[in-house]
Amino acid sequence: MELKVRLCVLLLALSWCVTLMGEVRAQEETDDSELDVEDEVGDMGEDLDLDTEAEEEQEKAPTPPPAPAVTYKAPEPMGEHYFAESFDKGTLDDWVLSKAKKDDIDEDIAKYDGKWEVEELKDNKLPGDKGLVLKSRAKHHAISALLLRPFTFDTKPLIVQYEVNFQSGIDCGGAYVKLLSQTPDLDLDQFVDKTPYTIMFGPDKCGEDYKLHFIFRHKNPKTGEYEEKHAKKPDSDLRTYYTDKKTHLYSLVLNPDNSFEILIDNTVVNSGNLLNDMTPPVNPPAEIEDPDDHKPEDWDERPKIQDPDAVKPEDWDEDAPAKIPDEDAVKPDGWLDDEPEYIGDPDALKPEDWDEDMDGEWEAPQIPNPACESAPGCGKWERPMIDNPNYKGKWKPPMIDNPNYQGVWKPRKIPNPDYFEDLHPFRMTPFSAIGLELWSMSSDIFFDNFFITSDRNTAEKWANDGWGLKKAAEGAAEPGLVSNMITAAEERPWLWVIYVLTVALPLVLFIVFCCTGKKKPDTAASYKKTDEPQPDVKEEEEEKADEEEEEGEEAKGEEQTEEKNSDAEESPEEPAAKEEEEAETKEEDDDDDDDDDKTDEKQEEDVLRRSPRNRKPRKD
Give pLDDT, residue 535: 54
C-alpha to C-alpha distance for 364 and 344, rounded to whole angstroms:
5
Give pLDDT, residue 16: 61
Which segments within 152-225 are labelled E, that is strand? 158-166, 172-174, 177-181, 197-206, 209-219
CA angle 326, 330, 336 (to 5 degrees): 120
Residue numbers in the chain where pLDDT is lower than 70: 1-70, 477-484, 487, 491, 512-513, 515-620
Q: State the burial class of residue 57 (Cβ atoms within 10 Å of its Cβ: 0-12, 13-18, 19+).
A: exposed
Give pLDDT, residue 125: 81
Instruction: Please report how the helices 467-477 and 456-465 are oriented relative to each other, as an axis angle in degrees rounded to 10.
Output: 30
Residues 144, 188 contacting (CB under 8 angstroms): yes
Contacts of residue 427, Cβ cutoff 8 Å, sequence gap at least 6: 153, 154
Could you give the C-alpha distances from 64 to 94, 122, 194, 533, in angstroms and in order? Answer: 36, 20, 52, 85
Could you give the C-alpha distances from 454 to 13, 82, 84, in angstroms and in order? Answer: 66, 8, 13
Could you give the C-alpha distances from 45 to 32, 49, 53, 134, 581, in angstroms and in order? Answer: 20, 9, 14, 54, 135
Return the SS3 of 295: coil
C-alpha to C-alpha distance for 57 and 525, rounded to whole angstroms:
84
Q: What are the domain boundaries of the chain?
A: 81-281+424-477
Give pLDDT, residue 24: 46
Q: Which amino acid is at 177?
A: V
CA angle 112, 117, 118 (to 5 degrees): 140
Give pLDDT, residue 482: 66
- What number of H helices and E strands is found in the chain? 12, 25
Give pLDDT, residue 444: 92
C-alpha to C-alpha distance for 420 and 418, rounded to whole angstroms:
7
Residues 448, 155 contacting (CB under 8 angstroms): no
DSSP string over 544-607: HHHHHHHHHHHHHHHHHHHHHHHHHHH-TT-HHHHHHHHHHHHHHHHHHHHHHHHHHHHHHHHH
C-alpha to C-alpha distance for 109 and 436, rounded to whole angstroms:
17
Contacts of residue 17, Cβ cutoff 8 Å, sequence gap at least 6: 500
Residues 199, 178 contacting (CB under 8 angstroms): yes
Of 175, 84, 132, nearest to 448 (Cα)? 132
C-alpha to C-alpha distance for 76 and 466, rounded to whole angstroms:
9
Give pLDDT, residue 461: 94
C-alpha to C-alpha distance for 174 and 212, rounded to whole angstroms:
9
HSE-CB of 188 using CA atoms within 13 angstroms: 18
CATH code at 81-281+424-477: 2.60.120.200
Give pLDDT, residue 287: 94
Cβ-based neighbour number of residue 411 at 10 Å: 13
pTM here is 0.58
CA angle 532, 536, 539 (to 5 degrees): 145
